[in-house]
Amino acid sequence: MTQWSLRGSYFESCNCDAICPCRRIDGHAGGRSTHGVCMGLLSWVVAEGDAAGVDLGGLAVALACRYDDDEQGSPWSFVLYLDERGDEELHAELLRVEDVSPFEYEYRGVCGYGADFDYSSEEG
């Protein structure tokens, strides 16, 4: 198992009215989003971090997402944005993205949440 650790700040926001009605809480599925289509952004800023010897400190990543209440099959769309300061090893070895075609939307978030995080893999 690859050893890793991350510590930093997390922020999320979407266009739903607070508190997001579509949010999964304690294993219970949420309901319909406020406007039928939920568009949001999840972001992480790594204050300190390491994965397999690659320094992740100071890097940021953001995940733009779109959820359509009425979409059949796969209602989720995602676009992952990596900090351009990350080197090729970080992009190639630690993350693989199959479809990076972006979707367009106008973002006006009204629901948000922020927290600090401190995660690491378990010693094996």
Q: What are phi and psi of 60, to 5 degrees?
A: -130, 155
59 is written with which tokens? Answer: 């890097």
For residue 93, is it within any domain?
A: yes
Per DSSP, which regions of the chain are E strands? 4-14, 37-51, 54-55, 60-68, 76-82, 111-120
Residues in the chain with pLDDT < 70?
A: 85-111, 122-124
For residue 62, is it within any domain?
A: yes
For residue 117, is it within any domain?
A: no
Tally of domains in the chain: 1
For residue 15, is it within any domain?
A: yes
For residue 35, is it within any domain?
A: yes
Longest dimension (CA), the chain: 45
Name the DSSP class of 92: H
111 dihedral zone (left: phi>0; alpha: psi -120 to 50; beta): beta
CB-based contact 65:78 (threshold 8 Å): yes
For residue 80, is it within any domain?
A: yes
> Could you list the residue range(s) of the whole structural domain that residue 66 is in?
4-105
For residue 113, is it within any domain?
A: no
CB-based contact 57:48 (threshold 8 Å): yes
For residue 121, is it within any domain?
A: no
| pLDDT for 48 | 93
| pLDDT for 121 | 81
